Chains A and B, each alone.
Chain A
Amino acid sequence: MRIGFFVTCLVDAVRPRIGFASIQLLEAAGCTVEVPAAQTCCGQPGFNSGDRASGTRLAQVFLEQFESFDAVVAPSGSCVAMIRDYPGLFADQPALAERLQRLVSRTHELLDFLTHHAPQPLPAGALPLRATYHDSCSGLRNLGIKHQPRQLLATCDGVDLCEMRDAEICCGFGGSFSVKLGEIATRMADNKCNHALATQPDAILGGDLGCLLNIEGRLRRRGDQRTQVLHVAEVLAAGQLAASGELPAPGQFVGMPVTTKD
């Protein structure tokens, strides 16, 4: 299965590790992965700020870049949700909308793809990590991503997933919201941190980098330098490597802490 990998603008710029982890997982699940070079962004930052052209113009770029692939995968629920909205933006151009529809219906969020659409399941991983998972809004409510990360993490031996209270409540990121109404965003991130930390995790996990940066930014500002904030793909990829013996002993790699509490 030939996959076009849509890395997303945030992962590309801020945390490339998530991109590499994703590719590692996709290959482990039997895919051939390519990264179209001229991709930039799904258009969401502009589109949700009221600039419709950001959506329509970038939809066409997406079509050009990815139409030739068997499937498209991105490590972000909110970008995939944006992409799934593309056809609706071309109500007046049915032929284009139709082409887009065919493409977006084979465009998947990474964790959903690995769970339901990949040629083969991921081999079991191993990683000692106490973690809690935040359900990012777009993935959860627009794409139905709820069991997928939990199912995948369960295949990783040693990952101890403790559910936090209000896991489904927004962390306050919301793209431009996090800057325009930063005071509310900060309070929402604070609530999220409180609920997450109550589970005493080594790492707070999520599937959308925007949310992860928001949560990590608040944690660090509160003075917490210990709790990691990671994309599920990073954990799964590390677990795969550890299980296959390609890494030094747990505790010394990929920035993952060992569980220090008993």
Chain B
Amino acid sequence: MDATSHSFKRNVHARLGDEALQANLRRFGGGFADRRRDAVGRVDDFEALRDRASEIRAEVLTHLDHWLLAFEAEATRRGTAVHWAETGAEANQILLGIARAAGVQRVIKSKSMVSEESGLNAVLGAAGIEVTETDLGEYILQLADEPPSHIIAPAIHKSRDEVSALFAEHHGTPLTRDIPALCEEARQHLRPRFLQADMGVSGGNFLIAETGSVAIVTNEGNGRMVTTLPRVHVAITGIEKVLPTLDDLSAILRVLPRSATGQDITNYVSVLTGTRDAGADDGPEQNHVILVDNGRSRLLGGALHDALRCIRCGACMNHCPVYQNIGGHAYGWVYPGPIGAILTPAFLGLEKALDLPQASTLCAACEVVCPVRIPLPELMRTLREQEMEQGLRPWHERLSIRLWRWLALHPALYAVATRWGIRVLRWLAGKDGQVHRLPGLDGWTEGRDMPAPQGSTFRDQWRTQLAAREAQGKARAAATPVAMAAAGAARSKAP
């Protein structure tokens, strides 16, 4: 997928000004967050489940090579072909090779974020193979020719009216606001595609080393058809998705749906192992798994290692006030929100996504909900450090931070600088005690006033007061007038 993460600020400006999008974002608002809170409230000790899930993911990553090879051996033994792809492009070529060898004309897909990374649909399309997305959200986006804006609710940025208009345009049907009718319409259009397809491409939420299985967690049931109806099934997923055992899967499934959609369990959990049994009448004749690295192994053991624990639940974006205001597309690549602010620079290169690690107030709303306890704010700060160290921040920013640090380490000079700063701000302030425009800090004053300082610094006033207290020997009585005077001064500036 082509990235626009380098022009984040421009993306943001456009999204904040897009009234239709803003209305859609507001409409859904904290929906997922509320549902998560309720779901978490229904279990006894969700924090313990988070601990367990985090441990499992952390343990796998420490011995990732071992678990991947174990998965490969077991999957192969059960008739699944395992392919390794270093890049997204390589994954696309492997998949294309499988399709060609099997004479595939039509592909149906269930949701796969890794295939968004690799831009698979475009590659298959260029090779003359028809691709149909069957996840409802992805289907809508395929018609709209847009990328997903959320990892579990890809079309969350679209209103029902927009979907209705899209369906009317592509299906030649009348407009309707009835959501079940829209779903039924999609179902009618997808059914023949399911039946005609000769290859199903799915993602893989998890790989189970113990059984060589691919586990898929869905709500619409399309994943089950994609993986069982066509004669060839290919799962394409990241190398970090492996879990040692089915027990581990069950531990992870306790936190995934609750964190994602606030469901206790999703409508479907499919564990796919090997090919169609002899004599059985469903299941694929060929089963393939493509394990995609695409930058992941570079993170192992490094400063961003913990980000690989991610189980793609989307909770971090559902709780992120930045995401909630700008939507997923502004982030400019496959993964939006806090985890995207880490994975995009990690996978594409920091220089291609300079603003993303900065696109957070570090409010930690993500961290406190992440089911695998990824320290997301800390990782964003780490990336900020890397930007600094690699000289990727503007020179004036680097210079002003060094200057500020130097001053902060020299209290006497710092006091002088603060006194001057206060003077300048008070001079710039209007009669209302607010600075309306502050050269160099336009980022602030474009949308907000800057309340001017009240007077001299606290420490200067405190020194005076301390002397007075000592002179009078009446400690507490002295505190009042100065505080009052300062307060009064600030008050009298207001109209």
A interface residues with partner B (beta carbon < 8 Å): 7, 9, 11-17, 19-21, 23-24, 27, 35, 37-41, 43, 45-54, 57-58, 61, 137-138, 141-142, 166, 168-170, 172-191, 213-214, 216-218, 220-221, 225, 234, 237, 241, 246-247, 253-255
Contact = CB atoms under 8 A, between A and B. Distances in A.
A49 B381 CA distance: 7
B479 A20 contact: yes
B232 to A, nearest CB: 45
Contact of A54 (B393, B408, B462, B486): B408
Contact of B484 (A40, A216, A221, A254): A254
Interface stretch (B87-95, B124-132, B441-449): B441-449
Contacts of B494: 225, 255
A7 B404 CA distance: 18
A142 B362 CA distance: 11
A-B complex: 10 closest residue pairs judged by Cβ atoms: A174-B361, A186-B447, A217-B448, A182-B443, A50-B384, A50-B388, A16-B458, A255-B491, A20-B483, A170-B363
Contacts of B393: 49-50
B11 to A, nearest CB: 11
B483 A179 contact: no
Contact of B457 (A13, A54, A61, A141): A13
B453 A15 contact: yes
Contact count band on B: 35 or more
A191 B355 CA distance: 23
5 contacts: A13-B453, A170-B321, A217-B448, A217-B449, A220-B448
Interface of A is mostly: helix
Contacts of A23: 479
Contacts of A138: 364
Given A58-B408, A217-B444, A142 B12 contact: no
Nearest to B455: A16
Nearest to A15: B454
Contacts of B443: 178-183, 185
Nearest to B413: A40
A9 B453 CA distance: 12
Contacts of B450: 213, 217
Nearest to A22: B458
A196 to B, nearest CB: 15
A234 B359 CA distance: 32
A174 B486 CA distance: 27
B487 A254 contact: yes
Given A20-B483, A40-B414, 13 more contacts: A20-B461, A38-B411, A43-B408, A181-B9, A181-B12, A182-B443, A182-B446, A182-B447, A182-B448, A187-B447, A188-B322, A188-B361, A221-B434
